[in-house]
Amino acid sequence: MTTVESQPARAGTPDPSQPAATGADRPGPRRRRPWRRLVLGLAAVLAGAAAFGYYRQKGIPSSRDVGDALAYLERRVGGKASEPPAEPPRPARSASDQAWDGAVTVAPEQGRAIGLQLVAVEPQREPMRLELTGRTAYDPNSLHKLRPRFDTLVEQVHAVPGQVIHKGDPLVELNSVDLAAAKSDLQTKYVQWQRDLRVLKLHEKLVTEGAVSQQTYIDDRNAENKSHLDYVQARDKLRILAVPDEDVDPLTRGLGDMPTGEQDFGTVASKAKMTLKSRVDGIVIQREAVPGNFYDENDILMVIAPLDHLWVLANVYEVDQAKVSVNQEMEIRFPFLQQTTRAKVEYISSEVSRETRAVQVRASIRNPGGLLKSDMLVKVVLDIQPVKGQTIVPRLALVVINGGEYVFVKRPGKEGEPGRYERRKVSVAQENSNFVIIAGGLAAGETVATNGSLILAQLYEDLQIVDTGMPVQ
């Protein structure tokens, strides 16, 4: 019996001795692992959160740190070698990676490119000039307010507002019953005094002859003293009523020689009249008197202002009030007259005006010829003497950031090395168009940047954001 050796089946050739495989028993394609994608996504989210927290705390990470983080993530998630490869030696941290010391470094060629210029800080040598606004005004202590001293009727007014008045000019014609009664009383007292005086002189001769007793003579002397006193009081009353002496003397003229008629005493109508005259030179600035109206001692008929001098009232704001003192020199400019004069501070108000929120200071100026008027606008310049420790820098050196005032001061260094500039806060005493007076924060002899200070401020802001992650304060 012949035997046939069976040959092994070729790979991929079905074995006829084996039953055909069904679709359920046929091996399918290799399945992927979905959990790996999930882990990768979760790891990416955690890495982003960690990077955000690091940025908020430490600032912007360097490219080297980002690379290290990605390599670590790849090792942990990718399932590569469990042991991390040996870390290559890191180079020493450069000067730029060190903590920022708050200075802006500018190389010489960079300074020339941005037009950087430096100046030395100088001490204040010249007086500081404080410019104020003000106005002129009449001196209220020299105003002549014309008013009657008794109830009266105004018959006529000789002056109008704005009229220039000289001393002695007639102003108002008055008619008063009270004035006539005061004048008549003076005449009565004068006649009585003259009568008692004649009796006394007569009895002086008789008492020496024994014809009149000593007691009678004493009584006559007392009566003469009393009547003389009454006459003096009546005359003083007329002076109080502002009746001039040239109007009083005619009242008693001829009354010592036994008057007999009305012509000696005068009429009541004539004694009721009086003319008010100006006692000063000036200008009528107010008139209230109207012919035909009655007035009393509380009424002002007219106001006359002398023009020989004026007041100057200037406004000093609260921040500058400590710079002003009595007897301080001031320059007064009249912009519309092209005129300038000088004066001294005479008075500083003790209160702040509610309208202007300023303290008022006052000075007096001469007004020859009456050219200057009241309420003229003036510019006042006060000379404030230099204060020890205050310095001066150009206006371009001052940089205002968020309401604060700063300058960039160059730190000492060797010639040819990059310049290092620190930002320094200063206190400004006065700011002008060309220069600034610094009250504190700078010392004479230091060096500050002028042209290019704004570029330094921008560089400072960029460095501060990189260092802290916060905008400049």
Give the other-Cβ count within 10 Å of 259's Cβ.
Answer: 14
Can you spell out the DSSP letters for 38-105? HHHHHHHHHHHHHHHHHHHHH-SPPHHHHHHHHHHHHHHHHT--SSPPPPPPPPPPPGGGSPP-SEEE
In which band, very low, low, confident or very high, does the pLDDT at 127 lie, cut at 50, 70 and 90? confident
CATH T-level topology, domain 103-126+389-468: 2.40.420
Tokens standing for residue 215: 């007691």
The pLDDT value given to residue 241: 92
pTM: 0.58
Is-contact 432 130, C-beta < 8 A? no
Domain 306-384 has CATH 3.40.50.300: no
In which band, very low, low, confident or very high, does the pLDDT at 253 lie, cut at 50, 70 and 90? confident
pLDDT (mean) for 376-396? 91
pLDDT tens-digit readout, 341-357: 999 999 999 999 888 88
Q: What are phi and psi of 346, to 5 degrees?
A: -100, -25
Please check the confidence at residue 18 and state whether its pLDDT lies above 60.
no
Please check the confidence at residue 392 and state whether its pLDDT lies above 80.
yes
Helix axes 214-240, 177-209, angle to 10 degrees: 160
Helix axes 63-78, 34-58, angle to 10 degrees: 160
In which band, very low, low, confident or very high, does the pLDDT at 458 lie, cut at 50, 70 and 90? very high
B/e letters for 317-343, b = 16+ CB within 10 Å, e = fewer, are: eeebeebbeeebebebebeeeeeebeb
pLDDT (mean) for 55-71? 50
Considering only 37-41, 276-280, 419-423, which range has the smallest mean pLDDT?
A: 37-41
pLDDT tens-digit readout, 181-236: 999 999 899 989 988 998 998 888 888 878 888 888 899 899 999 999 999 999 99
Q: How far apart are CA 323 and CA 170, in angstroms?
A: 49
Maximum Cα–Cα distance across the chain: 224
Q: How far apart are CA 71 and CA 73, in angstroms?
A: 5
Q: How far apart are CA 56 and CA 50, in angstroms?
A: 10
Question: What one-character DSSP code corresponds to residue 143?
Answer: -
In which band, very low, low, confident or very high, does the pLDDT at 19 lie, cut at 50, 70 and 90? very low
Can you spell out the DSSP letters for 330-397? EEEEETTTTEEEEEE--EEEEEE-TTT-EEEEEEEEE-GGG---TT-EEEEEEEE---TT-EEEEGGG
pLDDT tens-digit readout, 326-345: 999 999 999 888 889 999 99
Tokens 């009083």: give the residue.
Answer: 248
In which band, very low, low, confident or very high, does the pLDDT at 260 lie, cut at 50, 70 and 90? low
Which residue, among 304, 355, 376, has the nearest Cα to 143 in the 3D structure? 304
In which band, very low, low, confident or very high, does the pLDDT at 258 lie, cut at 50, 70 and 90? low
Strand order in the sheet with 144-146: 144-146, 302-305, 282-287, 164-165
Tokens standing for residue 407: 């300058």
The pLDDT value given to residue 160: 94
Q: Give the CATH number of domain 144-168+273-304; options: 2.40.50.100, 3.40.109.10, 1.10.3760.10, 3.30.1360.70.
A: 2.40.50.100
Task: Measure Cα distances from 90 to 64, 65, 87, 99 in Å.
Answer: 10, 12, 8, 19
Q: How far apart are CA 165 and CA 171, in angstroms?
A: 9
